[in-house]
Amino acid sequence: ILWKTTMSKKVPITVAEGDGIGPEIMLNTLLLLKEAGADLEIEKIEIGEKVYLGGNTSGIEKSSWESLRRTKVFLKSPITTPQGGGYKSLNVTIRKSLGLYANVRPCVSYYPYIKTNFPGMNVIIIRENEEDLYAGIEHRQTNDVYQCLKLISRPGSEKLIKFAFDYADNYKRKKISCFTKDNIMKMTDGIFHKIFDELGQEYPNLEKKHMIIDIGSAKLAKSPCDFDVIVAPNLYGDIISDIAAEVSGSVGLAGSANYGDHCSMFEAIHGSAPDISGKNIANPSGLIQSAIMMLAHINQSEVAQLINNAWLKTIEDGIHTNDIYNPETSTQLVGTNEFTSAVIKRLGQKPEIFNGTIYQRFTSKSNTIKKARIQEKELVGVDVFFDWKGNNPNILAEILQDIGNKNLQLKMITNRGVKVWPDGFPETFCVDHWRARFVSIHPEKSINHLEVIQLLSQIENKNLDFIKIENLYTFDGEKGYSLGQGE
Ligand code: NAD
């Protein structure tokens, strides 16, 4: 066994055929990989609809995890998530469980063969994959209010942003833009932006720009050719990568890669398209492009280049599936199998117009990031959130002012973040979700957990329904919490 492992060039990969059009596009992609000479040892696993409907709400069996952790490389077809509650997103689970922190999506225009308003567009979106609102920590706290927790960590952001800079640098890109909304979310998006500025100093050759996500997305939709590499937190990255893929004219053609320090996953960006499944009309190009990224990642760049050239030549020759067929530029309307055969026939040929640059493997040096110093953390107060059905904050304040202790006193009450006491406005619309901020009355003196517990027990004695607390900390004396709007 040892001899075999050492001598064989074959790289083990895990493959999932998925649902809907998944099996047909995977069959075609694997055939193309074989014909091109990819050296792979394929382990197949079952994921998705069948597994979900078999009663496994995660959509993946334990044995499949074993395969993924053994091969560390996953080529995945789209899956169908059954309708109705209770099913967790398999993609999010796989990305997070395997530590695939960087999602890379090249959005490239294939003008004039595929219609787009932006010939020459070539944007790479690098999206954080594990954190942000996708932590999936949601709670219904009152009758009327639902909460989703947005978590952004310094090391998580550092790893991803370092990856994005290394990626841009490695592929000789000129410019990297960071999109956040840190004019509003000064702490979560603020740390992402700050790390972009900090790490950016190590890349003098790259032009760096930060944009607020709203205007950034607008500019990306209107003039995508002004962008090169974009790095963004999870939710924004998810949205802008679809915008970018769509305006490139090729949402059905784009592949994507998810990279981590140990494993990687490659998949098309489209879904399982159940409406066209089993009809031999699906375009296998998104999965083929993902497979090309995979081959580059496992050091089989020559095969990747061979396939990419043949694929580009097929597109240039006007041999198109129904989704991209256009009588003005297409010469032949083909099905899934015929398209793949056309690519196989062109293995060894080169495209005439397109430049089929292959994104070869590179390693991000995230382990070179210096660990941030641990700052001195002090507890200086507590926000207590209430489910309270009253509508006059002055009444709630009267009850709460009555409690507290010699160190902790009520400072303000907000409703959905807006200060409503003291000096609130009667015009402010309030729901049944209130926050009372208690702070240490001696600014230089911190409080302790016992005082918080005493406060909560006093609140309990007043028969108030507290739904959660958030401790207020300072870090080296700097506030680790935001002020209320209007505070
Ligand atoms: P979809 O991408 O499957 O389909 C949208 C439209 O694009 C459909 O009209 C479809 O026919 C067409 N289309 C998609 N891929 C195509 C291809 N390769 N060739 C030709 N036409 C193609 O999106 P949807 O309809 O919103 O989702 C269908 C299912 O896919 C849902 O269950 C969804 O949860 C799932 N989904 C899975 C993934 C994934 O596994 N990565 C991603 C997105 C959606």
Mean pLDDT of 328-340: 96
Q: Residue 147: phi, psi to the nearest 5?
A: -130, 140
- Tokens found for residue 29: 């992609």
Mean pLDDT of 267-272: 92
Mean pLDDT of 188-199: 98
Closest residue by Cα to atom 7, ligand 1, is 273
Give me the half-sphere count of Cα atoms (radius 13 Å) on the Cβ side of residue 134. 23
Confidence (pLDDT) at 249: 83
- Tokens found for residue 226: 């002004």
Instruction: Give pLDDT tens digits for 149-191.
Output: 999 999 999 999 999 999 999 989 999 999 999 999 999 999 9
Closest residue by Cα to atom 1, ligand 1, is 271
195 lines ligand 1 (CB under 6 A): no
Confidence (pLDDT) at 81: 83
pLDDT level of residue 364 (50, 70, 90 thresholds): confident
Q: Is 403 in contact with 386 (CB distance < 8 Å)?
A: no
pLDDT level of residue 359 (50, 70, 90 thresholds): low
275 lines ligand 1 (CB under 6 A): yes
Confidence (pLDDT) at 6: 42
Residue to substitute in 270, 276, 311 for testing ligand 1 pocket (most ligand atoms within 8 angstroms of CB)? 270
Instruction: Give pLDDT tens digits for 370-409.
Output: 888 999 999 999 999 999 999 999 999 999 998 867 788 9
Task: Look at residue 340 and tell me whether its pLDDT is greater than 80.
Answer: yes
Task: Look at residue 139 and tell me whether its pLDDT is greater than 60.
Answer: yes
Confidence (pLDDT) at 90: 87
Question: Which amino acid makes up residue 350?
Answer: K
Task: Look at residue 252 and tell me whether its pLDDT is greater than 90.
Answer: no
Distance of CA 140 to the CA centre of its chain: 24
48 lines ligand 1 (CB under 6 A): no
Q: Is 90 in contact with 61 (CB distance < 8 Å)?
A: no
The beta strands (E) that lie in 19-170 are given as 40-45, 73-76, 102-108, 122-128, 138-140, 146-148
Please report the atom of ligand 1 found closest to the CA of residue 322. Answer: 20
Please report the atom of ligand 1 found closest to the CA of residue 268. Answer: 41
Instruction: Give pLDDT tens digits for 214-245.
Output: 999 999 999 999 999 999 999 999 999 989 99
Task: Say how far apart CA 245 and CA 256 lie, in whole Å.
Answer: 11
Task: Kindly state the greatest CA–CA separation across the chain.
Answer: 83
Mean pLDDT of 21-33: 97
Residue to substitute in 95, 272, 276, 285 for testing ligand 1 pocket (most ligand atoms within 8 angstroms of CB)? 272
Task: Look at residue 7 and tell me whether its pLDDT is greater than 60.
Answer: no
pLDDT level of residue 2 (50, 70, 90 thresholds): very low
Task: Say how far apart CA 73 and CA 262 lie, in whole Å.
Answer: 9
Instruction: Give pLDDT tens digits for 397-454.
Output: 999 998 867 788 999 999 999 999 999 998 999 999 999 999 998 877 889 999 999 9
Closest residue by Cα to atom 9, ligand 1, is 273
272 lines ligand 1 (CB under 6 A): yes
Q: Which residues contact 181 (CB under 8 A, 6 or more apart)?
A: 189, 212, 213, 214, 236
Confidence (pLDDT) at 286: 95
Confidence (pLDDT) at 16: 97
Q: What angle do CA 367, 369, 370 make, to 5 degrees?
A: 120
Strand partners, 267: 76, 256
Q: Which residue has the tokens 């709460």?
A: 400
258 lines ligand 1 (CB under 6 A): no
Task: Look at residue 40 and tell me whether its pLDDT is greater than 80.
Answer: yes
Ligand 1 centre to CA of 267 (Å) is: 12
Please report the atom of ligand 1 found closest to the CA of residue 48. Answer: 40
Ligand 1 centre to CA of 23 (Å) is: 13
Distance of CA 192 to the CA centre of its chain: 14
Residue 25: which H helix or E strand, with range? Answer: helix 22-36
Mean pLDDT of 320-336: 94
273 lines ligand 1 (CB under 6 A): yes
- Tokens found for residue 452: 């918080």
- Tokens found for residue 58: 């995660």
Question: In Å, what is the CA distance from 278 to each residue of 24, 162, 254, 288?
Answer: 7, 42, 21, 18
Task: Look at residue 1 and tell me whether its pLDDT is greater than 70.
Answer: no
pLDDT level of residue 70 (50, 70, 90 thresholds): very high
pLDDT level of residue 8 (50, 70, 90 thresholds): low
